[in-house]
A and B are shown apart, each in its own frame.
Chain A
């Protein structure tokens, strides 16, 4: 990797990391969703600085260029985060369904009770 590439990569990692922290601080991002952002940017930062680690990893996965490893890591990160969202969405859909049903049943109960009250009057 050239010096320019390294500097650019390091800047991106730092910016992503700090932005994520700031979003969590402002409560715009929940902690559970920040895990992947923080760990990936930190990992990439360390790998660029400890360049020999990045080179070993590159050889290990069978890639040629260390930049390839970084790209692959970014893709893997995106994949993982989408999986996290799918799981969370499934959970929320289920909860929403139950909530909608509860709402309907409670409303019916309420109407029944209101009817009884008006009849008693």
Chain B
């Protein structure tokens, strides 16, 4: 039987987590939910456990990228077939999980990104972020030939081959997005997008504040550049 794992990386989200988990259960009751507790100081892990989710707690806060990679490692060692990653703060709509999974479970694709820009535009991020996203979209299109509208979306679904590949040390743990897509594309994985609904984080907290956007752009450009310079490990049976 095909097993699906829904990975929710969470840092101090004890308030929003119940809503997200309830939404996921309503959409896809057969899937198992894994909450990766990224060094939360509030009761995130306890709340998750009480709601019947699987919980893996990182010993200290290591960031979004490390948390989701921990989810991939869990999926690999517990032999899941498909993986969906969704944010813990309610930005992603769990009702779109099945939309995201469809191209992967049907075998049409290896990796699906949930794009907020296809279909109904439910939430527009601030201007600076939009400019950054457009820039990397264009760059990605140039480098991979693939048209990606939402490269920073953390709402993704993929198959076991992809998450196995991503457990390696070449997974960009800082801000995995455009450079990750480039890496997957070069390794021969088939990537597609599906429209999803996203909502602004209701308490206005952002992962990106202060000097972080500057570092983000620098890091992305450097990461994309070196990804092009490296020899990418190939997926078995993949074509370049």
Contacts and interface: CB of A to CB of B under 8 A. Distances in A.
Tell me the interface secondary structure of chain A in the complex: helix
Contact of B74 (A97, A103, A108): A108
B59 interface: yes
Contacts of A101: 58, 66, 69-70, 73
A104 interface: yes
Contacts of A108: 54-57, 74
Give the most central of A94, A98, A100: most B CB within 10 Å: A100
Contacts of A100: 58-60, 62, 66
A98 B167 CA distance: 10
Nearest to B38: A104
A105 interface: yes
Contacts of A105: 56, 70, 73-74, 77
Contacts of A97: 62, 66, 173
Interface residues of A, number: 10
A25 interface: no
B73 A103 contact: no
Contact of A104 (B70, B77, B169, B173): B70
B52 to A, nearest CB: 13
Contacts of A98: 169
A72 to B, nearest CB: 29
A100 B69 CA distance: 12
Given A100-B60, A103-B59, A105-B56, 7 more contacts: A94-B169, A97-B62, A97-B66, A100-B62, A101-B69, A104-B57, A107-B56
Interface of A: 94, 97-98, 100-101, 103-105, 107-108
9 contacts: A100-B58, A100-B66, A103-B58, A103-B59, A104-B57, A105-B74, A105-B77, A108-B54, A108-B57
